[in-house]
Amino acid sequence: MTSTASGGGLTGLTASELAAKLRAGEVSSVEVTQAHLDRIAAVDQDVHAFLHVDAEGALAAARKADDDRASGQAASPLAGVPLALKDVLTTTDMPTTCGSKMLEGWTPPYDATVTRRLREAGVVILGKTNMDEFAMGSSTENSAYGPTRNPWDLDRIPGGSGGGSSAALAAFEAPLAIGTDTGGSIRQPGAVTGTVGVKPTYGGVSRYGLVAFSSSLDQPGPCARTVLDAALLHEVIAGHDPMDSTSIDQPVPPVVAAAREGAAGGLAGVRVGVVREFSGDGYQPGVQRAFDAAVRQLAELGAEVVEVSCPHFDYALPAYYLIAPSECSSNLARFDAMRYGLRVGDDGTRSAEEVMSLTREAGFGPEVKRRIMIGTYALSSGYYDAYYGQAQKVRTLITRDFTAAFEQVDVLVSPTTPTTAFRIGERVDDPMAMYLADLCTIPANLAGNGAMSIPCGLSDEDGLPVGLQIMAPAMADDRLYRVGAAYEVARDAAQGGALINRVPTLEAV
């Protein structure tokens, strides 16, 4: 999808390009925001990236950004730039549904810290994006409000759980988006839509106001079409927050400076480790070939490339699907029909237990129920040590694998996902096949490291995007941006321009 195909001019520009035009006075935030609202109106009935569009609120925020800039008080480098917000972060002026009937129509009484920081930076929030219910899924097919479609092929999934955010970027409905990543929900959608997605170090971005799925794994992060745009957004939302007990009280890594450094120079002196366990059988050949080409390109940029073994990564998937459902079982107990949200069967004749049961039956979808049951079983008397306890021990071994690997290399790389985007409906009846989409992304969540997905080309089998995953040690997120930006420049030079400009033009809409 070229700039012309994406509506001409403004909606085809990156966030940093829009920010430069705003600073130069070449365009107003109101004009930029209206262009993106028009784009949403033109294509979103087919893409379904958004659950709620707040045109009035977005234009009001844009006018304020323009007024602030006119008085010399622009709040941040991204002031006046539009953004799409995943519907799992609370907003006082828009519903927060988490893609679930359980919270249909609920408007929270407070903003998430991420939401507040965006507003304080003058970023214009266009609306809330679709997602797998309570962030549980890899395809955005589990939303109670219908699936989101991949702009590269409207018959395919845009990834999950944050498929709405990634699709909004790929469809040029927004230049920036926010996602959350519990087991890959930023990176996997980024990979299959040809966009950039970053999971910051756990604790690097506040979880206050993020409706919890798995509290020890959830992490908000930036989604964008370029590495620099992601870095600019990362700096806006990151930093210590006393409202989040797991927030890290350290300076934010210099991610914007690292992105600019990487784009300006090569990777001489950088050691890159290719994870041995993430290749071979089970990986789509076109994905493997695109990844191998990306690794060669890293070497051409001056990086020293070595193979690294992380033997316990093979156990990450089963460990995750005990830890995450266990925490989900506990966190979702709050949706009890008593305090807020949906209430079913309260006709004065039923007990509180009956109302609770009827409400949870009606309000939760099949995948959420599946994970609640798995987690409740894993935490039950007699099984806690055998399942949840053992999974946490595996988590420790995976963290040790990362520690040992980063004693040898600066970053690790792998494919982001084993396959390109699959067709809508293809895996809905096969949970294990669905879960395998997160095979490569889960270890970084279990260890808490930062990780990025960046497009590394198109599969030669189906012409769909492939993602390169870059992983760095905790609180060394700047390494992701340096390596990612250097690779991005080399990739675009070798492949004839930015991959995002090849998204089909959605001629059917």
Note the pLDDT tens digit of each residue in 458-480.
999 999 999 999 999 999 999 99
Rounded CA-CA distance 441/69 in Å is 40
User: What average pLDDT does the chain have?
Assistant: 95
User: Is residue 161 flagged as an active site residue?
Assistant: yes
pLDDT digits (tens, 9 = 90+) for 422-463: 999 999 999 989 999 999 999 999 999 999 999 999 999 999
pLDDT digits (tens, 9 = 90+) for 293-325: 999 999 999 999 999 999 999 999 999 999 999
Rounded CA-CA distance 314/20 in Å is 45
Catalytic residue among 28, 161, 279, 459: 161
For residue 280, what pLDDT is reported? Answer: 81
User: Is residue 279 flagged as an active site residue?
Assistant: no
Quick one: DSSP state of residue 347? S
Number of H helices, E strands in the chain: 16, 11
Q: What are the residue ranges spanned by the domains of the chain?
A: 10-313+396-501
Q: What angle do CA 332, 336, 337 make, to 5 degrees?
A: 135
The DSSP bridge partners found for residue 455 are 467
In this prediction, residues 142-157 reach a mean pLDDT of 97
Whole-angstrom distance between the N-terminal and C-terminal Cα of the chain?
13
Under a CB-based contact definition with an 8 Å cutoff, are residues 335 and 198 in contact? no
- On whether the 10-313+396-501 domain is CATH 3.40.50.300, my answer is no
Residue ranges of alpha helices (H) inside 87-133 are 113-120
For residue 9, what pLDDT is reported? Answer: 86
Give the closest residue to 178 by CA, choosing from 254, 247, 233.
Answer: 233
Residue with tokens 């033009």: 505
List the structure tokens of 202.
């756990």
Rounded CA-CA distance 258/482 in Å is 5
For residue 505, what pLDDT is reported? Answer: 58
Q: What is the pTM of this model?
A: 0.96
| H or E element that contains 433 | helix 431-435
pLDDT digits (tens, 9 = 90+) for 24-61: 999 999 999 999 999 999 999 999 999 999 999 999 99
pLDDT digits (tens, 9 = 90+) for 59-85: 999 999 999 999 999 899 999 999 999
Under a CB-based contact definition with an 8 Å cutoff, are residues 447 and 399 in contact? yes
Q: What's CA 466's distance to the chain center, in Å?
A: 16
User: Is residue 206 flagged as an active site residue?
Assistant: no
pLDDT for 3 beyond 50: no
Catalytic residue among 86, 101, 128, 199: 86
2 pLDDT band (50/70/90 cuts)? Answer: very low
Neighbours of 254 (CB within 10 A): 16
What torsion do the CA atoms of 449, 85, 117, 241 make, to the nearest 10 degrees?
A: -40
Under a CB-based contact definition with an 8 Å cutoff, are residues 326 and 379 in contact? yes
Rounded CA-CA distance 226/211 in Å is 27
For residue 4, what pLDDT is reported? Answer: 36
Three-state SS for 273-335 is EEECCCCCCCCCHHHHHHHHHHHHHHHHCCCEEEEECCHHHHHHHHHHHHHHHHHHHHHHHHC
508 pLDDT band (50/70/90 cuts)? Answer: very low
Residue with tokens 């095979």: 439
Q: What angle do CA 352, 142, 169 make, to 5 degrees?
A: 130
For residue 410, what pLDDT is reported? Answer: 98
State the angle between helix axes of 15-24 and 29-47 in degrees (0 to 180), rounded to the nearest 10: 150
Residue with tokens 């999808």: 1
Residues 6+ apart with CB under 8 A from 25: none
pLDDT digits (tens, 9 = 90+) for 339-386: 888 999 999 999 999 999 999 999 999 999 999 999 999 999 889 999
SS3 452: strand
In this prediction, residues 209-220 reach a mean pLDDT of 98
For residue 456, what pLDDT is reported? Answer: 97
Residue with tokens 């917000």: 85
- What is the Cα Rg of the chain in Å? 21
Under a CB-based contact definition with an 8 Å cutoff, are residues 209 and 218 in contact? no
SS3 454: strand
What torsion do the CA atoms of 116, 120, 121, 124 make, to the nearest 10 degrees?
A: 70
